[in-house]
Structure 1
């Protein structure tokens, strides 16, 4: 499909308007953090949900709800005030290859981030570059695992500097930073800007981007993400990842 830049922008902007609205929440994992009103609850619920956001969307949502139940529907309080004995009930959790041991490790690492590093927003903000949060994700992973941890759990946090597209964390950052004024993305991290975000690149958005000619690279990896970033920033440098709604919607809802 060969469109001029102006046609492409018009087409994608139209799709953003179609999908970036509260109806989108009903079938999307973003509904989990929307159950909370306190900033820390939203960001923790969002982070844990995004972490297991691969596979069937229904099971992602079901298992994310299970996680919130295990954290007594008060994620921040549980993370910062749990006793060692409170962690036992988490060991039964499982979503694909993410199991109870991983969840326990995540609770301990998140505790470390809030107690020793001033919280999630502070960590991502500290290492942000003017036009990229990929170095922040790399540093975040280091800090997340600087306490004693299970080696197996490291694979559940991506590292863009190892050429990962880091789809789930980029999606999470979109949720936290982008204020879409439509009630989908939260925009609660005011110290960071939507212009620094990268598109969550997955099978759907990647395939649609290739069909539209905004992505040439075949693999959905870090290099493809950089290429897609450039193309989307060219269409809207202030809010490039609004096009995630267009690419994802075209792929999932329209089988484009």
Structure 2
């Protein structure tokens, strides 16, 4: 790893460069930014995060298609839809996510929002103030998500869990969107029980590559322990908000920017 001060300054500069509203339009986070109601942001953000693989333009188009079937009122649709309202979803498909998955997501959301005001509870119920990371919250969310009778087995591949040693990159990205609070206008900061210092950095292919170049990852596989290793190293630069550097790492990687060689 290059010298501490040099690397911290570099990451701060890149964070400042990429954590800007101009980032929103071409990113899946643009989907929840179309809404104002808290529950609409939660639902649309979750679906956007789960569908976030492939070309970003395609992801955004597919998310817009998905929520057009809900008349762009996700929370109201979840709670009040009739059986006939679900027919458009029978033709929905993005990569390996299909109608079966879409319909189960709707079933789960209806069950959950009939009992709770915010999706944060689905994660927080597995955590506490003392939890060092969101690991137990992610595990609890996964188990809760698949606690309904006759859930489709195929849908399990779309909701990761640390118990399978997954890096949980999409869920960690989603939690970053919901939890992080700053004045930049990108992340929402609408959840207040989970703290930013409990978040784990989303470790996608771009972040992984740049982090390895900078010496922030040493493990060979990219799994849950790798995501924790990266986050622990980022905590050295900002203990209260380590995942803000996701902007720097992802921005550099997705724009094919080279990094200065480690020393």
TM range (shorter): over 0.9
Give the match for residue 230 of structure 1: 232
Structure 2 Cα separation of the partners of residues 117 and 39 of structure 1: 13
Structure 1 Cα separation of the partners of residues 111 and 153 of structure 2: 17
Task: Report if aligned partners of 2:201, 2:228 keep a CA contact under 8 Å in 1.
Answer: no
Structure 2 Cα separation of the partners of residues 254 and 111 of structure 1: 41
Task: Report if aligned partners of 2:126, 2:139 keep a CA contact under 8 Å in 1.
Answer: no
**Aligned match for 2:242, one of 236, 240, 254:** 240
Structure 2 Cα separation of the partners of residues 28 and 218 of structure 1: 28
User: With structure 2 as the length reference, what TM-score do the two structures score?
Assistant: 0.94
The structural deviation recorded for 1:116 is: 3.3
Structure 2 Cα separation of the partners of residues 58 and 6 of structure 1: 37
Task: Report if aligned partners of 2:67, 2:74 keep a CA contact under 8 Å in 1.
Answer: yes
Give the match for residue 82 of structure 2: 83
Q: Deviations over 1:54-74 (max 9, x none)?
A: 111111111011111011100
Task: Report if aligned partners of 1:54, 1:60 keep a CA contact under 8 Å in 2.
Answer: yes
CA RMSD of aligned residues (A): 1.2
Task: Report if aligned partners of 1:113, 1:143 keep a CA contact under 8 Å in 2.
Answer: no
Task: Report if aligned partners of 1:51, 1:168 keep a CA contact under 8 Å in 2.
Answer: yes
The structural deviation recorded for 1:235 is: 1.3
Give the match for residue 18 of structure 2: 19
The structural deviation recorded for 1:111 is: 1.1
Task: Report if aligned partners of 2:47, 2:63 keep a CA contact under 8 Å in 1.
Answer: yes
Give the match for residue 261 of structure 2: none
Structure 1 Cα separation of the partners of residues 250 and 47 of structure 2: 21
Q: Does 1:4 align with 2:3?
A: yes
The structural deviation recorded for 1:141 is: 1.0
Give the match for residue 140 of structure 1: 141
**Aligned match for 1:165, one of 148, 164, 167:** 167
The structural deviation recorded for 1:117 is: 4.6
Give the match for residue 99 of structure 2: 100
Structure 1 stretches of 4+ with a deviation exceeding 6 A read none
Q: Deviations over 1:58-108 (max 9, x none)?
A: 111110111110111000011111122221211111100001111010000
The structural deviation recorded for 1:44 is: 0.4
Q: Does 1:219 align with 2:221?
A: yes
The count of residues paired between Structure 1 and Structure 2 equals 255
Q: Does 1:41 align with 2:40?
A: yes
Task: Report if aligned partners of 1:135, 1:161 keep a CA contact under 8 Å in 2.
Answer: no
Q: Which ranges in structure 2 are unaligned for 5 or more consecutive residues?
A: 259-263
The structural deviation recorded for 1:118 is: 4.5
- SS of match in other structure, 1:95: coil
Structure 1 Cα separation of the partners of residues 188 and 51 of structure 2: 19
Structure 2 Cα separation of the partners of residues 117 and 104 of structure 1: 20
Instruction: Judging by fraction of residues, say which structure has more helix.
Output: 1
The structural deviation recorded for 1:43 is: 0.6
Structure 1 Cα separation of the partners of residues 232 and 208 of structure 2: 14
Q: Does 1:202 align with 2:219?
A: no
- SS of match in other structure, 2:249: helix
Q: Which ranges in structure 1 are unaligned for 5 or more consecutive residues?
A: none
